[in-house]
Amino acid sequence: MLRRALAATADAEVSSSWISSWVYVQWTLLIAACIASLYLAIHSITLYQLKKRTTDLVLLVIGLSDFAFSALEVLKQYLEYSYVGVYDREVSGVGRKPVETGELLLGALSRFGFFMSISWVVYLSLVMRETSTEFLYIRRNFFVSLCASAVYGAMFSSLQSIDNRFGYTMNAVVLLAIQVSTFLTIAANVKFVKQTRINENNQGRNVIQRLAVYCVCAAWSTLPFMVALVASQEHVGFGAVTESFNYVLPIANAILFGTSIVCCCQRPESKEFDSRKTESLNNGPHLLESLHEMITEGPVVKIGEGSSAVVYKTQWLGITVAMKCIRLQGAEAANFQELYMTYVSDVQSEFCDEAALAAQLRHPNITLFIKLGSYKGSMCLVNEYCARGSLRDVLKANPLLDWSTKVRLAFEAAKGLAFMHNREPIYLHRDIKASNILVTEDWTAKISDFGISRIATDYRAVAAKKVNRGHGIQEEEDGEEDTSDVTTFAGTWRWNAPEVMKNPNECRFNRATDVYSFGVALWEILTNGSIPFSDIAFDHQVRTLVANGERPRFPPGALRRAPPEFVELIKKCWHQKPDRRATAQEIMLKLGSLEFTLSNADNSSRGMSRQAFSDNYYQALDSSRSFV
């Protein structure tokens, strides 16, 4: 008996020494969590005042929730309501004391803040998935998160007062399931964005990386404690250790969402520009330091201007080029310098994406991207110069243009579109119209302005195709699901497809939406550059009409002069049902056949021209990869 008592006393002394040491670790984590969460809250409110971004308000709620959780946990430690306190009393032989009302309330409030933080990270991932803060209904989501967090806190706090073993286990399992479901939701949103918008801008990739790291940190720091709760009420020693891991989460939130620390290993920078390495071009004012200043030869003449860019014509290395430069209006105003640089940073990111996309597209009917540089302190894209301007300019300036030339220009634009759509992965333009098709001095049409174009692919589908090809399995083309969808509204209202018009916030761009826009561009060719629905003043009225099946009217005079095949092709391009529209390849074949027929003025050659052109197309398609 004496030996047993001495052994128990020795074990108690060892345990007491261990728990005394662990208390220092726990207090260190708690103080760090309080400081980190307070920093995140201050950082977020400062950015919100500067940029007025809704996402900064979300981060503010996360920071305040983390601070409430950390501060209440400090109070629990001080009052010895935590697992460390329970374990210390058990080791010292005092035993557990009855659960007090204050202890229940404090535990509920603490876990309320804990779950509030997690739920708003879920909302942040939803914003990233939908690419719009319109889906973040602040008041509604705040109310939902309040209710969910209150339920979670009450269930967690009630664990201390449940004596029934089955009831305790079921309650703990439900809490674990709730917590796991939130992490799975975040992971699912991250995976969805990776698959559907793989070449978004640098900030988008950065958010994806940070949310992915958050899932790992949150699972590592919180789930062991929940597993300890499910296992038993008696394992207070394991609970004392795993409870401390929870305090790592506010620290991780501050690092991930309150700093510019990169969350993944970066590959070494390459001197060769590649769209997959646009991360090497950092956003912000430091970006221009990595770009070479354009040394022009001769005068620099402004030839165009948009909301965020100015286009100049100049000479560079002996050739005529077009420089698309970021607008620097208002940069001199000292009061708005910081806000202005934030705006410039966002536009610079778009320019990097456009350069990355243009660098991969080499085709005779796509404007040639030459380099990314800087001019007088602003970033600029240097492209080949197309002397005749846009196709719309050409149509307006030449109202008597013969149909042979019109069809040839349309055919050349269709070749550029087919090249984009037949790439693997494919490219979507999302803003095809006559003003985004340029014409060179020798009357060659080229698709341009990839400012809102996006690469779209589904890696699972691509991988499956490669596996099938490796096994000699032939895939059927008919009925194949188009996995090249891209979300987020883009383009110009009057050129967009009805499925986009019906719900712009949840639209899915794919080949069919590009084809619809190309059909409207063909209508512009038929009408010599008219604006679709020019008799309707407001875009929202056009949205309703197009969604209900209305299309731009064919002027009777233009309809009489147009080739019937051209009119039928327009109708097929803008069919109400996306799966009934022509493909870019079909458009190219029909326009090529029609162009051959018109230029030779021989109806008997129609069948032969189609076969001859079809053969030439497939030869060109096989060799098109050499343009990359």
Long-range (24+ apart) CB contacts under 8 A made by 400-408 are 401/528, 403/561, 403/562, 403/563, 403/566, 403/598, 404/595, 404/598, 404/599, 405/443, 406/525, 407/563, 407/566, 407/591, 407/594, 407/595, 407/598, 408/443, 408/445, 408/595, 408/599
Radius of gyration of the chain from Cα atoms?
A: 31
Residue 324, annotated ligand binder? yes
Task: In whole angstroms, give the CA distance from residue 592 to residue 573.
Answer: 16
Gap between the Cα atoms of 334 and 549, Å rounded: 51
Asked whether 365 and 444 are in contact (CB, 8 A), the reply is yes
Q: Please identify which residue in the block is written with the tokens 């020795």.
A: 10
Provide DSSP, 318-387: TEEEEEEEE--TTTT-GGGHHHHHHHHHHHHHHHHHHHHHHHH---TTBPPEEEEEEETTEEEEEEE--T
CB atoms under 10 Å from CB of 610, counted, come to 17
Reference 110, options 158, 62, 76, 147; nearest CA is 76
* Strand (E) or helix (H) holding 438: strand 437-439
SS3 sequence, 472-529? CCCCCCCCCCCCCCEECCCCCHHHCCHHHHHCHHHCEECHHHHHHHHHHHHHHHHCCC
DSSP letters along 552-597, please?
PPPPHHHHHHS-HHHHHHHHHHT-SSGGGSPPHHHHHHHHHHHHHH
| Binding-site residue set | 324
Question: Residues forming the annotated binding site for ATP?
Answer: 324
